[in-house]
């Protein structure tokens, strides 16, 4: 238990190497990989996310914490696959066409990972159809689009319109975000959710997937 | 009053006939000049024409040699991409593999096309409207320039790990001073310092890595007899107590910063603060009466030291009526 706590704390400090070592140690001590994931890595990432939201830590601290989480995950992931751990959902994420800003998108991606999502990150400058193609390919639950420029925001609308044309709009939860985006824009273009920050994005995505799964089961 | 007198008086705390309109416009300026962004960023004549159009049509009280943040990066040797209708950016960060200082070219601002183009814009402004309309020149803040050269994400992680950035920052600071000097000599009344990345870091990293350079930059501008304007878009609320100490003349603040809060914190100083109409939710998407209401609200909350502008760049597709509505309520 103390070890798990230590993983969470080192992750929050961004100590990638130490996190990796301790995750390995925890596995060697036959700890439950799910517990290492949930109470170590993910809880650490959630704590950082909440602090970021409250202006207690800032982008540099979150980026190094995210890097530490990834380092831990490289050790843990094979074990998780072995035991068949179910992800909270599958999400496709990217920054829209013409837009190269990815810091916010990466943070959302990390927080979703931290909430137990399987993430397919398409990077930056992503064309509308590429989001949809990927979502179809992997059977995604959520499509997340990020835009930081007023000139690229309309690409979000384009993607949603393409989804409609392709007859797949209802298959996916569409989430959008980025500094110039707001709730009224989300409603206007017919997106399902907007959140102002990465920590909320993870919570909303998780709740939304549970809701739709509840409906379909 | 001429725009020049208006802004001067405002900064001196004297009565003015209109609250100065200091909107930042780039894509809009290109449009007004009847050209694409790429041309506007590379041909000072277009930049000057477009700015004068905005003064004429929308009542802007400044002209500004702003277009993109990578002019200095170009001079340092970065390869720049010029999208036809987008803002120029670095093809890749020059220092992406680390602080290989020898990769930085050290040239005079007069010897690089992109920095020279900005100097020429200022000379042209001086010829056409000098002493009548305040002229703003621009440099990147030292931290922002460091981000342009290193890549933002990499720099962020370097900061978190408290790497020693002294050497690179000293080089950048020295070059920025040369560029400032050239712009003031060309006729800039005000130098804008763009330090957008500062809003990504908290007070302790700002203190460690940015404060002293921002302070020294502003001091240098003052030594040359010009005024300093600091532009950090994003949420600067956590940094406000430090920014107050910079002794900057005009502090820009973006839409997510509370106007009353900035007024409280700058109380007792002579800093004018300039913002914070939301460029998207209000200016671009709102109606003229919403723009008017928000502008009035800013004026009421901001008090005597308030200067009007959007929190960040005015989007190119902003309805013209909104720009006019904003300007109208600035007259007493
Ligand atoms: C860093 C930065 C850059 C870096 C990007 C590096 C990178 N790898 O991302 C570089 C230098 C490359 C860059 C380039 C440009 N930039 Co820039 N940039 C910024 C800056 C300083 C910070 C953006 C940022 O990372 N914020 C931090 C993150 C954490 O916040 P965020 O992205 O908003 O994300 C949070 C939320 O919005 C939300 N979120 C984000 N995405 C999503 C998605 C979903 C689904 C959800 C639910 C939530 C969500 O969660 C995140 C975390 O809480 C801002 C100014 C500022 N201080 O805000 C300008 C800014 C965004 N850039 C701007 C501009 C104009 C440009 C350029 C066009 C010109 C230029 N060179 O400056 C180019 C464009 C290149 C291109 N084609 O994209 C303008 C945009 C104006 C506008 N609104 O249209 C800004 C506002 C600055 C300015 N006024 O000049 N930029």
Instruction: Judge contact between B203 and B235, C-beta under 8 A.
Output: no
Q: Provide the pLDDT for residue A217.
A: 52
Instruction: Mark yes or no for CB contact A60/B200 under 8 Å.
Output: yes
Question: Looking at the predicted structure, is the pLDDT value of residue B156 above 90?
Answer: yes
Complex-level ipTM: 0.91
Residue-by-residue DSSP string for A88-145: SEEEEEEEBTT----HHHHHHHHHHHHTTEEEEE--SSB-HHHHHHHHHHHT-SEEEE
Q: What is the pLDDT of residue A168?
A: 97
Domain count, chain B: 1
Mutate to test the pocket of ligand 1, among A104, A113, A143 (most ligand atoms within 8 A of CB): A104
Phi and psi torsions of B300, nearest 5°: -65, -45
How many whole angstroms separate alpha carbon A90 and alpha carbon A88?
Answer: 7
Q: Is B242 on the interface with A (CB under 8 A)?
A: no
Pairing of strands A142-146, A173-177: parallel
Structure tokens at A187: 């409603």
What is the average pLDDT across B108-114?
Answer: 98
Question: What CATH number does the domain located at A2-82 have?
Answer: 1.10.1240.10
Ligand 1 atom nearest A180 alpha carbon: 83
Separation of alpha carbons B237 and A76, rounded Å: 39
| Phi, psi for residue B22 in degrees, rounded to 5 | -110, 40
**What CATH class is the domain A89-216?**
alpha beta
A185·B161 Cβ contact <8 A: no
Atom 86 of ligand 1: nearest residue by CA position: B233
Q: With pLDDT > 90 as the criterion, what percentage of chain A qualifies?
A: 74
d(CA B274, CA B21): 9
Angstroms from A80 CA to nearest CA on chain B: 28
Contact A64 B152 (CB under 8 A): no
Whole-angstrom distance, CA of residue B274 vs CA of residue B251: 6
B134: containing domain: 3-329
Question: Average pLDDT, stretch A97-106?
Answer: 91
- Chain B, residues 174-213, CB within 8 A of chain A, namely 200-202, 205
Contact residues for A195 (Cβ-Cβ < 8 A; gap 6+): A175, A177, A201, A204
Chain A residues near residue B70 by CB distance under 8 angstroms = none
Q: Average pLDDT of B201-230? A: 97
Residue B199 CB-density burial (10 A; 0-12 exposed, 13-18 middle, 19+ buried): buried
The string of pLDDT tens digits covering residues B39-77 is 999 999 999 999 999 999 999 999 999 999 999 999 999
User: What residue in B sits closest to A151 (Cα-Cα)?
Assistant: B315
Residue A119 φ/ψ, nearest 5 degrees: -110, 135
Which protein residue's CA is at the shortest distance from atom 61 of ligand 1?
A: A148
Distances (CA, A) of A23 to A5, A75, A84, A210, B193: 11, 7, 18, 29, 45
Q: What pLDDT score was predicted for residue A1?
A: 61
Return the CATH number at B208: 3.20.20.210
User: Within 10 Å of residue B135's Cβ, how many Cβ atoms?
Assistant: 30
Confirm if B83 and B42 have CB atoms less than 8 A apart: no
CB contacts of A103 in chain B (<8 Å) are 152-153, 156, 200
Q: Which residues of B touch A55 (CB under 8 A)?
A: 202, 235, 237-238
Count Cα atoms within 13 angstroms, Cβ side, for B112.
23
For B174, other C-beta atoms within 10 Å of its C-beta total: 11
Q: What percent of chain B has pLDDT over 70?
A: 100
Give mean pLDDT, residues A200-205. 93
Domain ranges of chain A: 2-82, 89-216
**Ligand 1: distance of its center to the CA of A102 in Å?**
8
For A102, nearest residue in chain B (alpha carbons): B153
Q: Do domains A2-82 and A89-216 have the same CATH topology?
A: no
pLDDT at B2: 97
Question: Above 60 in pLDDT, residue B171?
Answer: yes
Q: How far is the CA of A3 from the centre of ligand 1 (A)?
A: 37
Cα(B136)–Cα(B221) distance, integer angstroms: 12
- Residues of chain A with Cβ-Cβ distance to B235 below 8 Å are 55
The residue contributing the CA closest to ligand 1 atom 54 is B196
Q: Which of B1, B117, B130, B13 is nearest to B67 (CA)?
A: B117
Q: Is A162 helix (H, G, I), strand (E, B) or coil?
A: helix
Question: Which of A43, A33, A34, A51 is CA-nearest to residue A6?
Answer: A43
Helices assigned H by DSSP within chain B: 3-11, 27-32, 37-42, 44-58, 71-75, 113-129, 142-150, 152-160, 166-186, 203-209, 211-223, 240-244, 259-266, 288-302, 320-328
Prediction pTM value:
0.90
Asked if the model's pLDDT at residue B102 lies above 90, the reply is yes
Contacts of B159 in chain A (CB under 8 A): 60
Place of tokens 């007198």: B5
**Strand, helix or coil for residue A175:** strand
pLDDT at B256 over 80: yes
* Chain B residues touching residue A100 (CB < 8 angstroms): 89
Distance from CA of A107 to the nearest CA of B (A): 11
Would you say B86 and A98 are in contact if contact means Cβ atoms under 8 Å apart? yes
Tokens of B190: 């005000």
Which residues partner with B250 through β-bridges?
A: B229, B272
CB count in 10 Å sphere of residue A118: 15
Q: How confident is the model at residue B217 (pLDDT cuts 50, 70, 90)?
A: very high
**pLDDT above 90: residue A135:** yes
Burial of A154 (0-12, 13-18, 19+ CB in 10 A): middle
Atom number of ligand 1 nearest to Cα A181: 37
Chain A residue with the nearest C-alpha to that of B256: A179
Contact between residue B222 and residue B169 where contact means Cβ atoms under 8 Å apart: no
Q: Tell me the count of A-B CB pairs closer than 8 A.
A: 58
Q: Would the CB atoms of B280 and A180 count as touching at under 8 Å?
A: yes
More confident residue, B178 or A1: B178
Kindly state the average pLDDT of the residues B295-315: 95
Residue A192, pLDDT above cutoff 70? yes
Cα–Cα distance between A120 and A128 in angstroms, integer?
A: 15
């Amino acid at each position: 238990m103390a070890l798990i706590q230590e993983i969470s704390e080192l992750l929050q400090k961004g100590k990638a190497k130490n996190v990796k070592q301790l995750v390995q140690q925890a596995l060697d001590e036959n700890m439950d990989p799910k517990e290492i994931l949930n109470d170590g890595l993910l809880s650490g990432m959630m704590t950082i996310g909440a602090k970021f939201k409250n202006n207690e830590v800032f982008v540099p601290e979150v980026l190094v914490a995210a890097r530490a989480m990834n380092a831990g995950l490289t050790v843990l992931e094979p074990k998780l696959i072995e035991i068949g751990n179910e992800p909270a959902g599958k999400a496709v994420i990217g920054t829209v066409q013409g837009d190269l800003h990815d810091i916010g998108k990466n943070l959302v991606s990390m927080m979703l990972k931290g909430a137990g999502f399987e993430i397919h990150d398409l990077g930056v400058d992503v064309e509308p159809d590429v989001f949809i193609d990927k979502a179809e390919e992997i059977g995604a639950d959520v499509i997340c689009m990020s835009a930081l420029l007023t000139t690229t925001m309309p690409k979000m609308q384009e993607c949603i319109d393409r989804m409609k044309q392709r007859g797949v709009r209802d298959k996916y939860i569409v989430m959008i975000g980025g500094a110039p985006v707001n709730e009224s824009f989300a409603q206007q273009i017919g997106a399902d959710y907007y959140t102002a920050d990465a920590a909320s994005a993870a919570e909303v995505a998780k709740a939304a997937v549970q809701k739709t799964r509840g409906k379909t089961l | 009053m001429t725009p020049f007198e208006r802004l001067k008086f405002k900064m001196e705390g004297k009565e003015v006939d209109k609250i100065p309109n200091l909107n930042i416009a780039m894509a809009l300026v290109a449009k007004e000049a009847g050209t694409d962004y790429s041309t506007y960023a590379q041909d000072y004549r277009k930049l000057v024409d477009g700015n004068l159009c905005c003064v004429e049509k929308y009542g802007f009280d400044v002209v500004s040699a702003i277009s993109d943040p990578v002019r200095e990066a170009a001079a340092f040797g970065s390869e720049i991409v010029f999208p036809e209708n987008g803002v120029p950016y670095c093809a890749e960060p020059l220092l992406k593999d680390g602080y290989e200082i020898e990769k930085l070219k050290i040239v005079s601002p007069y010897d690089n096309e992109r920095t020279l183009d900005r100097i020429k814009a200022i000379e042209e402004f001086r010829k056409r409207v000098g002493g009548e309309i305040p002229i703003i020149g621009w440099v990147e803040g030292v931290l922002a320039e460091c981000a342009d050269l290193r890549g933002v994400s990499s720099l962020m992680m370097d900061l978190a790990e408290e790497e020693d950035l002294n050497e690179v920052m000293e080089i950048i600071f020295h070059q920025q001073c040369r560029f400032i000097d050239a712009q003031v000599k060309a006729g800039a009344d005000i130098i804008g310092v763009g330090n957008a990345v500062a809003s990504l870091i908290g007070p302790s990293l700002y203190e460690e890595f940015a404060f002293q350079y921002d302070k020294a930059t502003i001091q240098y501008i003052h030594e040359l007899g010009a005024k300093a304007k600091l532009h950090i878009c994003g949420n600067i609320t956590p940094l406000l107590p430090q920014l107050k100490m910079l002794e900057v003349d005009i502090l820009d603040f973006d839409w997510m910063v509370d106007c009353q809060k900035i007024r409280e914190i700058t109380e007792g100083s002579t800093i004018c603060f300039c913002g914070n109409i939301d460029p998207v939710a209000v200016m671009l998407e709102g109606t003229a009466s919403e723009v008017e209401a928000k502008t009035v609200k800013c004026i009421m909350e901001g008090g005597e030291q308030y200067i009007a502008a959007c929190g960040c760049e005015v989007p190119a597709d902003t309805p013209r009526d909104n720009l006019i509505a904003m300007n109208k309520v600035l007259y007493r």
